[in-house]
Every structure is written in structure tokens, then in C-alpha cells.
Amino acid sequence: MTARLPNRADETDTAASLLVVDDTPAHLGVLTHALGGKGYRVLTALDGIEAIARARLTQPDLILLDVRMPGINGFETCRRLKADDSTRDISVIFMTSLNTPSDLVEGFAAGGVDYLTKPVRLAELIARVETHLTIRAMHRRLTRQNQQLRNEIGEREQAQAELAQARRDLERRVAERTGELARTNASLTAQIDERKRAETALLASREQLRAFSAHMETVREEERKRIAMEIHDELGQLLTALRMDVALLRKRLPDDPAVRQKTDDIRELVERTTWMVRNVANHLRPSALNFGIVAALEWLADDFCRRGGIECDLSVRGGEPALDDKHATALFRIAQAALTNVVRHARATRATLMLDSTAAGLTLRIGDDGCGFDQVVAKNGYGLLGMRERARLIGAVLEIDTAPRSGTIVSISLTISS
């Protein structure tokens, strides 16, 4: 017969696989030896149930199926294979000693593509296997080619449809653009007037927003002041009373070292709690603000040095400026934010607070010897925006003098009206 075996090498580089089903081991051995000698990969099964399981698992290219077997016969096995989507396309050649017309009709009706009469002649077996594998390979190629052709036709039709749609869209857009240009020329004046009205409304909205922002800042500071006073007065009094009670309790308890140690621990816990309460109250609103901006800046410098571990010097020229609570609080918050930025970003070893005041106004400068920053990059940062907004709300001018590796000076200038 032919020199080249038609197998799956047409699609892959592996030999075609055959499943031989026969309940006679000797017959299986003869067929396996003959087909294996031709380069095929041969799988075997002794009955229909095993054959169905093997076919589902291994997906052979061709099945040689004995008709007479115990359990389900070859015809029923074939019908079940054809009823299963995973094995429906596998070609089946029957091997049978039944050669009556009715048997042949039943075999083809069950889904077989050919039959071999037992005893099987090996030359005929090889020829028919090669023929049906060739047919199967050709069918696969034809199926792929048909699918590829359908895909190409679909793509071409899609491209033509898209081209036609693009042409229609272009014509429509040209018409629309022409109409838009005409309408734009006619309504340009109206648009300019509308923009002016919108700009006016935007300016009014910004002023309202600034007024609301100022009001909210005032409300926040008042709330901080109220909470700080409540913490300092009410909670502070309770802690003081508790400390006194602990001291009295210690005096009246028996001279038991364990009990005295416990009361000492309680007293220390009360002391720490008292310190934490005062610290929270001071950070909400330093009580030093009640004594003026100079006292508040002194507290801020000490707190900054203690918390940040960075030296901070305060210098005051001109004495205590005449400021109301609103302006003093705003200046304090700006200085507090600037020193917070020093701790977070400046990598500085020293900071300074300088307050120069006269009867006409004052200037507060917060400086450091840190790494500085690029103002163009950092101008929209929340820290700088917050400081600028606080300065604007009290009518002050905020300026920043900095550059990379050159330190930073934040200046706030405020005119004090009579």
C-alpha cells in the first residue's frame, strides 16, 4: 500500500491513535502487533463499556469495534459513542462475522463508516485503516479551510459594511459640521455673553464659598475651644479629685506592701491620664492662646522641640500685638502647620519663630535649615493651600521663600487696623 501513514501528523507531529475493541485477547494481540508495526499508537478494550470510557478519555482517531461482545454489543456501543458529543466525530469500523444485509444496514445505521469481515485479513485491515485516516485528515483540513473561508468572508463583509458606514458617517459629519459652523457664527455673541454671565456667577459663588469657609473655620475653632475647655475643666477636675481620693485611700489602707504598690500604680496611671488629657486639650486649642499670640508661640516652640526633637528658637520684637481671638488663632494655626511640615518633610536640625510687631501691623516668620522644596511642584499641596486660605481669611499676606537644599522661610504679614 502507500508508503506514508495518514495520521495526525497532518495536524500535529504525533502518530495516529487507534482503539481496538475485542473480547478475545488473542485477536487483540494480533491486531495490536500488526497496527503497532505500522507506526500507530494502539489502545485496547475488552468490552463496550471499557471502550466508551477509553474513547472519552483518549479521543482516538479511529475505533476498530467487534460486533459480538459480552454485555453491550458493538452496534449499541457505537450508538452510545455517536450520542456523546465528545466521541461523536470518531470514525468506527466494525469487525464482524455477520455479513447479512440486515447486519450491515444496522451497523451503518448505528454510525459505522466501514466493516471488516472476520477473520480479519491484516493487509485489508491496514488498507482500510489508512484509507479512513486519510479521509478523516482530509475532512479535518476541509473543515478548517471552510471555517477559515467563512471567517474571511465574514471579515470581508464586516470590513465592507464598516467602510460603507464610515462613508455615511463622514458624509453626515461633514453636513453636521457645516451646519455647526453656520450656527456657531450666528451664536458667537450669545456665547460670549453667556460666558460673561457665568464668570460673574462663578465669582459670586467663590465669594460665597470663601464666606462659608471662613464661617466653618470660625465654627471649628469655637468647637475646639469649647471641647478643650470641657476637657480641661470638667475632666481635669474629675482626675484631680480622683488623684486626691487615691492619696487619701493610700493613707488609710493597712501597711501592706502589695496594696501600697497597687495604689501607687493607680496614682501613676491617674497622673499619666491627667498629662494626656492636658496634652489633648492643648492641641485642640492651647490655653496659652487665652494670654495672647506670644504666649501661644512660646508654647508651640516648646512643644515642637519636645515632640520633634528639633531645636526651635522664638524671638519677639515689639511686644504683644493687639489681636483679637480670630486673628491670633489664625496666625497660630499657620505657624503650627508650617512647623508640622518641617517635621514631616524638611529634614531640618533647627527652626526659628520670629514675630515683629508695630502699631500698624506685624510679620511672623517661620524658618528652618532643611532641604527646602520646589514651589511649583508643591504649590497645590494641602498644607500650603491650608496656610494660604487661613491667611486670606484674616486679610494677611503669606509668602514662601524656598528652593531645594536651601531651607524655607514662611512669612505672614498682617496690617492691624485701628
pLDDT surpassing 80 at residue 12: no
Residue 265 lies in a domain: no
Q: What's the mean per-residue pLDDT of the chain?
A: 82
pLDDT confidence of residue 11: 47
Written as nine digits, the cell of 15 is 502518530
pLDDT surpassing 80 at residue 8: no
Identify which has the larger pLDDT, 340 or 376.
340
Percent of the chain with pLDDT over 90: 31
Q: pLDDT digit string (tens) for 110-147? A: 888 988 888 888 989 899 999 999 998 898 888 899 99
The CATH number of the domain holding residue 52 is 3.40.50.2300
Residue 243 lies in a domain: no
Q: CA 162, CA 167: separation in Å to the nearest integer?
A: 8
pLDDT confidence of residue 276: 67
Written as nine digits, the cell of 60 is 482516538
> What is the pLDDT averaged over residues 29-36?
92
The CATH number of the domain holding residue 335 is 3.30.565.10
User: How far, in Å, are 61, 67, 79 from residue 104 at the CA level?
Assistant: 22, 11, 14
Residue at grid coordinates 454489543: 73
Identify which has the larger pLDDT, 273 or 35.
35
Residue 295 lies in a domain: yes
Percent of the chain with pLDDT over 70: 82
Of 119, 105, 155, 123, the residue nearest 34 (C-alpha) = 123
Residue 146 lies in a domain: no
Identify which has the larger pLDDT, 4 or 196.
196
Residue 14 lies in a domain: yes
Written as nine digits, the cell of 133 is 485516516
Residue 277 lies in a domain: no
Tell me which residue range forms the domain holding 295.
288-415
Residue 96 lies in a domain: yes
Among 120, 147, 164, the domain-final residue is 120
- Within 10 angstroms of residue 126's Cβ, the number of other Cβ atoms is 18
- Local confidence band at 215 (pLDDT 50, 70, 90 cut-offs): low
> What is the pLDDT averaged over residues 405-412?
88
Among 75, 94, 120, the domain-final residue is 120
> Is 256 strand, coil or helix?
coil
The number of domains in the chain is 2
Among 70, 105, 120, the domain-final residue is 120
Residue 298 lies in a domain: yes
Q: pLDDT digit string (tens) for 301-322? A: 998 898 888 999 999 999 899 8
Residue at grid coordinates 524671638: 315
> Is 47 strand, coil or helix?
coil
Specify the long-range contacts of residues 289-298, CB closer than 8 Å, at least 24 apart: 289/325, 289/328, 289/329, 289/332, 292/320, 292/323, 292/328, 293/320, 293/321, 293/323, 293/328, 293/331, 293/332, 293/355, 294/319, 294/320, 294/355, 296/328, 296/332, 297/332, 297/335, 297/353, 297/355
